Amino acid sequence: MSVHVNEKSGVDSLTTVGSVESAFQTAAFALYAYEELGRGEPKLLVFKPEDNGYEEISASALKKAKKGAEGLKKKALKQKELEAKKQQQEADKTAKQLESLDIKIEEDKSLPQAHKAKINKAYESVGQRVKVNGWIHRIRNNKKLVFIVLRDGYGYLQAVLTGNLALAKQTQELTLESSVSLYGTVNKLPEGKSAPGGVELSVDYYEVVGWAPGGEDSFTNKVNENADPSLLLDQRHLALRGETLSSVMKVRALWMKYLRKFFENEGLTEVTPPCMVQTQVEGGSTLFKLNYYGEEAFLTQSSQLYLETCLASLGDVYCVQESFRAEKSHTRRHLSEYTHIESELAFIDFDDLLSHLEKLFVETVGYIMEDPVGGALVKQLNPDFKAPTYPFKRLDYKDALEWLNEHGVPNEDGQKFKFGDDIAEAAERKMVDTMGVPIFLTRFPAEIKSFYMPRCKDDPRVTESVDVLMPNVGEITGGSMRTWNETDLLEGYQREKIDHAPYYWYLDQRKYGSVPHGGYGLGTERILAWLCNRYTVRDCSLYPRFTGRCKP
């Protein structure tokens, strides 16, 4: 490679290229620069003013230039060593400063007494000195300024540490998920800046309550959003600290709260039926069997039958109880244990049942959306959520089959639907997603429903039954009227090949002052998957149980 050297117009710099337009001033620097940049030894062409042109460097001049380049190299090395030494000295100085600042984390007793506040209350304490306890959710360290986002289960609070407090060694070593008590003044954020609650805590003092590990065991190594779902489920106890899961759990709590409020307004009484039972409700194939002191027993599939026994003593009733299903299928909406909210209403007909269900969804979702925390969380998790409105679309099973056939949706055997076919999960979801509104799917054939469902008077092939379908999830509720005539109920047991002897107590309801009644069961996790736009019900249970998963 030819490199030009021009004593008059050249420039000795590491950015010089060596062309005629960008020549070096000296041959020594040209050699040094080429070696420094790892380009090898160049062929030097030197400008001769007398010829007004470039000539190859003479052997003696090249020797001299090589010596000069050697000198330049030594000088540069020395300079680098000096700079490194200076940097080290500065780092040592900062470290020393940090060590000495370490002792300065102490409360200034002349400040006003801090009052203890949960984060949601701290938002309302602008201008006051507060003590807020929580966990370090996020931390950003600019050495002189340390920003912490504190989490306490009531909200998130942005906090800023400045001056010596920021520089202190302990502050520099703070880790995610360490628990701390922050003391400071709540300030309103200036226009244009945003943080939860519109405030920032100016910290003047803090205490570490419990350290969380850094390095290998650090929280982010344990819970990584992109990790395999089953690894995240192993770490569920830590994953629950994440923003999405904890938000879903908050919505879940609010849903329960407002459902209870609805039941109270409607005059229902809460009862707690047993979980260990000796009767089935929804078919033998999903029963979890257990050895009960040598007798066969099951974990309950539904508390419905027990609720029915309460009508004559307590009036309309409901329960919030775990139900258990030994589901073989691995679907996004099946759990082995789920929170089943069931209710039973006396002296009603099928239309009353549907109106009651309609009201339940419109009112409970209305309460959540009006709640400042609930409404904000649902909008955040599910920005396109449409709260249900009256009246719900009503669709008979036989009309649903027609719709499915018209839209080319096949049954489970890949054929056209015919009367008596089950509408499986995928077909059901296709239908409700296409329609995009809540649907009451009604009047299912007796053969695909449970023993207790009464036949419709105008068409005895079908029952007074309803599934509530919601877009994105499908069935979230199953309900029906209950056969209240003893003979018809016995026919139901016979049809389903169930021995009715263990159900003597249930049959007695038909003997001792029977009345028309009906009820339903709400799948809590499915309702949340719909409200919070979660792909699977597993995201809506605290510690989900499904095939192969019973820990932690």
Note the residues at the interface with ligand 4AD (CB under 6 A): 281-282, 302, 304, 325, 327, 334-335, 338, 340, 342, 475-479, 519-521, 523, 525-526, 537
Q: Of the two residues 4 and 429, which places its CB atom closer to ligand 4AD in the complex? A: 429
User: What count of residues does the chain have?
Assistant: 552
Q: Of the two residues 239 and 307, which places its CB atom closer to ligand 4AD in the complex? A: 307
Element (H, E) at 185: strand 179-188
Least separation in angstroms between CB 406 and ligand 4AD: 26
Q: Of the two residues 308 and 421, which places its CB atom closer to ligand 4AD in the complex? A: 308
Q: Of the two residues 4 and 334, which places its CB atom closer to ligand 4AD in the complex? A: 334
Q: Of the two residues 130 and 528, which places its CB atom closer to ligand 4AD in the complex? A: 528
Q: Of the two residues 4 and 538, which places its CB atom closer to ligand 4AD in the complex? A: 538
How far the first Cα of the chain sits from its last, in Å, is 68
Pairing of strands 295-299, 317-324: unpaired
Q: Of the two residues 3 and 317, which places its CB atom closer to ligand 4AD in the complex? A: 317
CA distance 68 to 59: 14
* Residue number with the smallest Cβ distance to ligand 4AD: 523
Least separation in angstroms between CB 465 and ligand 4AD: 9
Least separation in angstroms between CB 324 and ligand 4AD: 9
Contact indicator for 481, 302 with CB cutoff of 8 Å: no
Least separation in angstroms between CB 348 and ligand 4AD: 13
Q: Which two tokens stand for residue 516?
A: 């028309």
CA distance 344 to 359: 15
Residue-wise DSSP of 454-474: PBPSS-TTBBSEEEEEETTTE
Q: Which two tokens stand for residue 538?
A: 């597993």
Least separation in angstroms between CB 334 and ligand 4AD: 4
- Residue 310's alpha-carbon distances to 271, 280, 512, 515, in angstroms, are 8, 18, 13, 12
Q: Of the two residues 184 and 478, which places its CB atom closer to ligand 4AD in the complex? A: 478
Burial label, 63 (beta-carbon count in 10 A; 0-12, 13-18, 19+): exposed
Least separation in angstroms between CB 241 and ligand 4AD: 25
DSSP state of 242: S
Least separation in angstroms between CB 236 and ligand 4AD: 17
| Phi-psi sector, 523: left (phi>0), alpha (psi -120 to 50), beta | beta
Contact indicator for 456, 443 with CB cutoff of 8 Å: yes
Least separation in angstroms between CB 256 and ligand 4AD: 15
CA 8 to chain CA centroid, nearest Å: 69
